[in-house]
Amino acid sequence: MSGKKEQVRSNATPVRGYRLRAKHGRQARVLQRANRQVTLMAAAVIIAFFAAIILQALLT
Q: How many domains does the chain have?
A: 1
Residue-number span of the structural domain to which 35 is assigned: 1-60
- Which stretches within the chain are classed as H helix? 2-59
pLDDT reported for residue 43: 98
Vertex 36 angle, CA 30 and 40, to 5°: 145
The mean predicted confidence, pLDDT, of the chain is 77
Given a cut of 70, is residue 12 above it in pLDDT?
no
Grade residue 15 by pLDDT with cuts at 50, 70 and 90. low
Grade residue 59 by pLDDT with cuts at 50, 70 and 90. very high
Grade residue 29 by pLDDT with cuts at 50, 70 and 90. confident
Tell if the pTM clears 0.85, that is, is over it: no
